[in-house]
Structure 1
Amino acid sequence: MRLAGAADKAAVERLVHDAYSPWIEVVGMRPLPMEADYAALIDAGLVHVTDELDGLIVLVLEDGVLLVENVAVRPGRQGKGLGRALMAYAEEEARRLGLPALRLYTNVKMAANIALYESLGYVETGRQGIEGRSAVMMRKQLNR
């Protein structure tokens, strides 16, 4: 894993597009990660990528928690454990930063993602609307 640099912007955008395009029909609109400003996220040091640029995770430090804002895996690599590895990386980062928890949100219609996060120990903390989309809010407490 490494932080994405400015030279990675096009590859990051392509990865997000490819990973989230299948969800457009399910959600009924473009998922929020497809609307993000990746140049700004990369400049802010928030985009972490695999060396091969086949997976990424966007991590945002919040007050007392690490927000997993986006996880994307290239379609050809999905179902092979890379998403779980990215989530484990987020936990390592939270521990490194001394944070007791992580949080994330996902679209209520992304049932497979919700099931994955639950299997990793995340629990639903609520639901809310975000930019015209219905989101499931989830949180994971870390063991110290």
Structure 2
Amino acid sequence: MTIEMLRIGADFDRYEELLDVILAAFAFMDGRIDPPSSAHRLTPASLRQKAAQEIAFAAVEKGQLVGCIFLKPEEATLYIGKLAVHPAAQGKGIGRLMLARAEATARELGLACLRLETRVELTENHRMFAAWGFGRAAENRHAGYDRTTSIEMRKPLD
């Protein structure tokens, strides 16, 4: 398997395909999480804007987009958002490759920690991120909810 990690820059023109990857990767959440995933509000135009405001990478295998990761520098952490691997490409280590890219980016920016949020209902994601070195840091609620809806996880970098 040869996976190429491409920085999504101004010349990137595959936002329709990128949206398809995100929606396919997040489809398993439909009917499981409340509120529904914000992925459903994405459009090619909003992804272009997100990529311009954040640091984004696409994972490409044999010319096909198979994954992506969006990174947003914060004061002391690098926030990981929209980490997605197409279901047909899962189990090949692409998620780990993208997290390694996130770690390298955090180090380049002098940030000491990775941060992400995962929905409370997705316990399999909690276990996967824990296996990758993330620990529970907080419980959060979406606006209008009186219960925990997401778990914040952090990974300190050495």
Normalised by the length of structure 1, the TM-score is 0.90
One-letter code aligned to 2:48:
A
**Percent identity of equivalent pairs:** 25
| 3-state SS, counterpart of residue 81 of structure 2 | strand
2: CA distance, partners of 1:6 / 1:44? 14
> Structure 2 residue aligned with 1:3, among 7, 10, 14?
7
The offset of 1:103, in angstroms, is: 0.4
Find the aligned partners of 2:21 and 2:97 in 1 and give their Cα distance.
Answer: 17
Q: What are the superposed Cα offsets for residues 69-109 of structure 1, whole Å, 9 maximum, x if unpaired?
A: 12000110112211111111111111111111110001011
1:6, 1:43 within 8 Å by CA — same for their partners in 2?
Answer: no
Q: Distance in 1 between matches of 2:109 and 2:127?
A: 27
The 1:45–1:67 alpha-carbon spacing in structure 2 relative to 1, beyond 3 Å, is: closer
Provide the C-alpha distance between the structure 2 equivalents of 1:135 and 1:95, rounded to a whole number of angstroms.
26
**Corresponding position of 1:77:** 89
Q: Please give the alpha-carbon distance, in whole angstroms, between the structure 1 residues aligned to 2:113 and 2:40.
A: 26
After superposition, the C-alpha distances for 1:6-27 in whole angstroms (9 at most, x for unaligned) are 4121111111111111211221
Alignment counterpart, residue 92 of structure 1, candidates 104, 116, 120 = 104
The ranges of structure 1 where at least 4 consecutive aligned residues each deviate by more than 4 angstroms after the TM superposition are none
Structure 1: gaps (5+ residues)? none
1:40 paired residue number: 49
Counterpart of 2:77 in structure 1 is 65
Matches of 2:111 and 2:58 in 1, distance apart?
21
Q: Distance in 2 between matches of 1:102 and 1:6?
A: 25
> Following TM superposition, by how much is the alpha carbon of 1:32 offset from its aligned partner in structure 2, in angstroms?
2.3
Aligned-partner Cα distance in 2 for 1:58–1:89: 11
Counterpart-to-counterpart distance in 1, 2:34 and 2:114: 28
Whole-Å Cα distance in 1 between the matches of residues 27 and 138 of structure 2?
26
Residue type of the partner of 2:75? D
Give the conservation status (yes or no) of the 8 Å contact 2:22–2:82: no
The C-alpha deviation readout for 1:115-142, integer Å capped at 9, x for no partner, is: 1110111110111112557010011110
Q: How many residues are paired up?
A: 143
Gaps of 5+ in 2: none
Whether the aligned pair in 1 keeps the contact of 2:66 and 2:86 (CA below 8 Å) is: yes
Using the TM superposition, name which of 85-94 and 21-30 deviates more: 21-30
| Structure 1, 93-102 or 45-54: larger mean CA deviation | 45-54
> Hey, what does 2:140 align to over in structure 1?
128
